Structure 1
Amino acid sequence: MTSIMTNAAAMAALQTLRSINRNLEETQNRISSGYRVETAADNAAYWSIATTMRSDNTALSTVQDALGLGAAKVDTAYAAMDTVIDLMSEVKAKLVAAREPGVDKDKINKELTQLKEQLVSAAQSASFSGENWLYNNAPAAVGVKSVVASFNRSADGSVSVTTLDYDTSTSILVDVVDPARGMLTKAVNADVLQPTPTGVPRNFFLIDAGAAPAGATEIEIDDTTTDAQLDDMISVVDELISQLTDSASTLGAITSRIEMQEGFVANLMDVIDKGVGRLVDADMNEESTRLKALQTQQQLGIQSLSIANTTSENILRLFQE
């Protein structure tokens, strides 16, 4: 039936054109934004996952910054520790030189004094961002220091932060308040370092930072210093060098671990970005092909609607004849 009141063909053509325009608008949005899922309305599940993972990646970016800060602190402590080991080798060399008969021990002691001052200076200078892992002038011990290493999300959705912990008791060189907490200020029993200890303590310490350990003798020499005392001092300094070397090795191991963790976090962030991209990114090749097809359909829809609208004009011609 042909009706001048209801143009069914035009209505069908208009409905088709509306659908084409809607799909065309959606495709153009994907091309302009680059996303297949840009809002929750596009795909609520994928959008929720992508939003959560982007948030986690932001947290991982902060972890990267924290690792960089931690690495700087460890590197600072290691650089100072390496310098201290070199200075301690000089101290040992001076004590060995003092063992030679006829040398001026007072002059050697002046050199030892300068080396001690340099040791304290190196420890004091090992500060980064307000933290010093080699020098302590506070009543409390420096304690365990933590470096943020990772941000984790478990299967149940709960989150946690992993840290790298370092006990500074293994690296404190000078402690102004409690000399026993500092490797260079504490007392070391030379007797236990001998192949056959006598059982009689002979305690020595290297640096007097204001609170000398009780019952211990400072490592300093003069013309009255005996060869036996020099031997004890050399043994103590050698033991301190061994402890310093162990501490530097620990710092080096932490530096290596931080570097590995930095690489892992960077790779993890890239993987998360790729995973999110697979969920929400638009395939530009597919979308460009779809755009061409929809533009062609749009032109055909407009043409179809135009033809449907001429039906009423054709009816008018029938009455004119």
Structure 2
Amino acid sequence: MASIMTNASALTALQSLNSTNKNLETTQARISTGFRVAEASDNAAYWSIATTMRSDNKALGTVQDALGLGASKVDTAYTGMNKAIETVNEIKVKLVAATGATDADKAKIDTEIKALQAQAKAYAEAASFSGTNMLSVSNASGAAADVKVVSAFNRDASGSASISTIDVKVEDIKLYDGGAAPTKKGILDADRVGATGAVTGTAQSPTAGDDPAAGDTYSVASLSVAGHSDGQIGEMLMVVESALKEMNTAATNLGAAKNRIDLQKTFTQSLMDSIDRGIGQLVDADMNKESTRLQALQVQQQLGIQALSIANGNAQGILSLFR
């Protein structure tokens, strides 16, 4: 039936053209933004997941920065510890040289030992980074606080977020502690029993020149060979040996912490890259697909316009029926 009131062909062509134009706008938006899901209205679930993961990735970026700062702190302490170990080894050498020496020679050696003690203290005090010093501390009482390095940002299955840390126990590696009792002293300024080298809380100063007495104590930071007997120097050597063992253990702990931080930095960067890839798979547009689709839609748009033009021209044909 030919009608001038209702042009069904034109209505059909118009609906098809509108649909094509809408799809064309969507494709052009994807090409211009690079996103298949740019807003929540595009795909609410994917948009929500991607938004959360982007937020978590920003947090991981901060974790990466914190790991870098922590690595610098630990590396500084590790360097200071190694230099202090070298210095204490020199003190041990001087003690060996003092054994059997004359009083005059012991006085000279004692001057060298005091210089080495001051140097070890200087190394410990200088091993500070961003206000953190693990080797030379001063606690009013109790144990030295652990140094905590933020190592991970975690999100469990329920969506709850948490932070993990790598803890460095300063109490086990400190060389000096200027705090008052009952604060535990550091490895080098602690009083040690001469006979065993064990740390003790009860100091007992030896009588210079006498044979070693039970309970005599020495500190690596303040021992002196001037005027002391060979037996007492032997006990000093025991004290230094014990301190060196503890320092080597402390250096091992610092080295392990440094290695763990480095591994965590590498893992965090890989994790961030993996999350970026996952987000991309959810929301990024496939440009190859979209460019092909754009060309097809542009052809459809042109054909739709042509079809609408033909449909609108059909009404003109009705006039010929009345001629």
Question: What's the secondary structure of 1:160's corresponding residue?
Answer: strand
Aligned to 2:96: 96
Whether the 8 Å CA contact 1:189–1:204 is kept in 2: the answer is: yes
Aligned to 2:62: 62
> Percent identity, aligned pairs only?
49
Quote how far apart the aligned CAs of 1:199 are: 9.4
Whether the 8 Å CA contact 1:180–1:187 is kept in 2: the answer is: no
Is residue 137 of structure 2 the alignment partner of residue 136 of structure 1?
yes
CA distance in 1, matches of 2:69, 2:166: 12
CA distance in 2, matches of 1:71, 1:295: 56
Quote how far apart the aligned CAs of 1:193 are: 4.6
Equivalent position to 1:308, from 306, 311, 316: 311
Aligned to 1:115: 116
Q: Which amino acid aligns with 1:169?
A: E
Whether the 8 Å CA contact 2:63–2:152 is kept in 1: the answer is: yes
- Relative to the length of structure 2, the TM-score reads 0.91
Aligned to 1:275: 278
Aligned to 1:213: none
Question: Runs of 4+ in structure 1 displaced over 4 angstroms?
Answer: none
Quote how far apart the aligned CAs of 1:100 are: 4.1
Aligned to 1:184: 188
Question: What's the secondary structure of 1:151's corresponding residue?
Answer: strand
CA distance in 2, matches of 1:69, 1:94: 38
Aligned to 1:254: 257
CA distance in 1, matches of 2:255, 2:120: 20
Q: Which amino acid aligns with 1:315?
A: I
Question: What's the secondary structure of 1:310's corresponding residue?
Answer: helix
Quote how far apart the aligned CAs of 1:177 are: 2.1
CA distance in 2, matches of 1:242, 1:294: 77
- Relative to the length of structure 1, the TM-score reads 0.91
Quote how far apart the aligned CAs of 1:316 are: 2.1
Aligned to 1:84: 84
Question: What's the secondary structure of 1:150's corresponding residue?
Answer: strand
Gaps of 5+ in 2: 199-211
Deviations 1:32-68, CA, capped at 9 Å, x for gaps: 1111111111111111111111111111111111111
CA distance in 2, matches of 1:13, 1:146: 69
Whether the 8 Å CA contact 1:99–1:227 is kept in 2: the answer is: yes
Is residue 201 of structure 2 the alignment partner of residue 171 of structure 1?
no
Quote how far apart the aligned CAs of 1:309 are: 1.0
Distance 1:121 1:199, change over 3 A: closer
Quote how far apart the aligned CAs of 1:3 are: 1.6
CA distance in 2, matches of 1:70, 1:28: 47
Deviations 1:240-291, CA, capped at 9 Å, x for gaps: 1111000000000000111111111111111111111111111111111111
Q: Which amino acid aligns with 2:231?
A: A
